[in-house]
Amino acid sequence: MSVFNFSEEGISTFFLIGIPGAEHVHLWVSIPICFMYLVAILGNGTILFFIKTENSLHEPMYYFLSMLAFSDLGLSISSLPTMLRVFLFNATGISTDACFAQEFFIHGFSAMESVVLLVMAIDRYIAIYNPLRYTSILTSDRVFKTGFAFATLCILLVLPFPFILKRLKFCKKSILSHSYCLHQDVMKLACSDNRINIIYGFFVALLSLLNLMFISVSYVLILKIVLGITSHKGRLKVLNTCISHICAVFIFYVPIITLAALHRFAKNASPVIRVLIADLFLLVPPLMNPIVYSVKSQQIRNVILAKLCEKQH
């Protein structure tokens, strides 16, 4: 029998959970979740629309922002169906194939966001280190090629996940720890050897941490340049161009690092805390990134205000 098929004893359905012990308030919890998803989809969709249609936003920085908005949009859409089914209708069952497909998209868009944040850090470094050559170094053609190359790399990186899960045998355990599917969560339910999954999952997580390390190095170099500026006003002006990106990095990585720390150092922590932090990882970045960039970027803010004024007249 093929290693990609389940045996007759194998299960074919996984069961997701919402907030353990708080099933009676799931309907009320679904209201802010729906609101957050709606704002995230509208916000990121608006960012993509304005960057595509406004010539004043056809710059490397905003092209990278559109990549971030695209990954946020994908992250929201790939996790939305099961979360709403669990909290709105208490429909917790999900087929194994649908679960494997969902974890592929969630991990894929997460990897894409991590890489985009790294590229944006490099973009900020080039803009500060050599502002006169910035536009000649990061041409539109190079930006598009970079985006395509990294998107392809992210897809290839997470592509093995569904297949190495498919080869596992699931016998007794079928309850997952979240309201969506993750590779590390699904592989723990296997009753067959999952060492390949553990090794490859660790490799992917390590690459994500390497991205964070390179982002940190970029900001150390940026800080070195900033400290060399004699004018206090000049320092603040340069740092102000990085605030939006720094916020995006914190919003993305803080839930991941917190969850990893809980699993490593607080194994007796309440499952509710772990579930909430894991949900924040998917809910907060797509919600907050468009808000942060709209507030901090004067060009985007001016475009949005101009469009609103046009409609009022």
Which residue bears the tokens 């320092």? 235
Q: How far is CA 192 from CA 61, 165, 174, in A?
A: 47, 11, 14
CA distance 29 to 25: 6
pLDDT in tens, 265-277: 766 777 788 888 8
Token pair of 238 as six digits: 């340069």
Query: Among residues 244, 58, 295, 64, which one has the least CA distance to residue 304?
Result: 295
CB 6 within 8 A of CB 169: yes
Phi, psi of 13 (to 5 degrees): -135, 135
Token pair of 187 as six digits: 């592989």
As a whole number, mean pLDDT of residues 242-253 equals: 91
CA distance 199 to 197: 6
Query: Among residues 305, 303, 273, 300, which one has the least CA distance to residue 65?
Result: 300
pLDDT in tens, 132-178: 888 888 888 888 898 889 889 999 999 999 999 998 888 888 888 88
Give the confidence band of 8 by pLDDT, cuts at 50, 70, 90. very low
Question: What is this structure's pTM?
Answer: 0.89
Q: How many CB atoms neighbour CB 250 within 10 A?
A: 14
Q: How far is CA 309 from CA 293, 302, 303, in A?
A: 20, 10, 10
CB 140 within 8 A of CB 58: yes
Phi, psi of 14 (to 5 degrees): -100, 160
